[in-house]
Amino acid sequence: MRAMGQRIQPDVNYTEEAVGRLEGISALYKENDVRRLLVHEMANLDVVRDLDVESTKEKTLRDLAKWSDSVEPNLAQAEEAIAAGRRLLTKDNLRQLLPLVSVKEDRRVLNAYLAELPEAHADRLSNA
């Protein structure tokens, strides 16, 4: 009920049971949108590349200097989000979802997806 956004009624009995622990779930957080971090937030790179410092207004230069302070943090955040995504999208990690899937067709689709994923290798994950 809580997962569906419903309030748990005081007179309803329920059991809580951990069936696993998904790694890398932070990759799905809004602030870890890699497209936003690497495409939208870096849009000024084209402006900087084509910039003629001598003819550019001082306000524009100040704005670009301020923007340049965000480049390193955005790159670091994108790197962390990609690493989290690599942890999330492993066969072993996502296999934990199978006990939660009750609809036969959904289970078939998840199994088909899992079959396409490569096996996790320690050397690949350690670089993530």
Residue 103 predicted with pLDDT over 70: yes
Nearest to 51 by CA among 38, 62, 40: 62
Domain boundary assignment for the chain: 1-23+90-128, 24-88
Q: Work out the number of other CB atoms within 10 angstroms of the CB of residue 94.
A: 17
Task: Report residue 11's pLDDT band, with 50, 70 and 90 as the boundaries.
Answer: confident
Once rounded to an integer, what is the mean pLDDT over residues 2-17? 73
Residue 59 predicted with pLDDT over 90: yes
Using a 10 angstrom Cβ sphere, with 0-12 exposed, 13-18 middle and 19 or more buried, the burial of residue 3 is: exposed
Once rounded to an integer, what is the mean pLDDT over residues 43-49? 90
Q: How far is CA 14 from CA 2, 11, 25, 61, 101, in A?
A: 11, 10, 25, 60, 18
Q: What is the CA radius of gyration of the chain?
A: 22
Task: Report residue 84's pLDDT band, with 50, 70 and 90 as the boundaries.
Answer: very high
SS3 87: helix
21: amino acid identity, one letter: R
Tokens of 124: 């690949």
Q: pTM of this prediction?
A: 0.71
In this predicted structure, what is the pLDDT of residue 123?
47
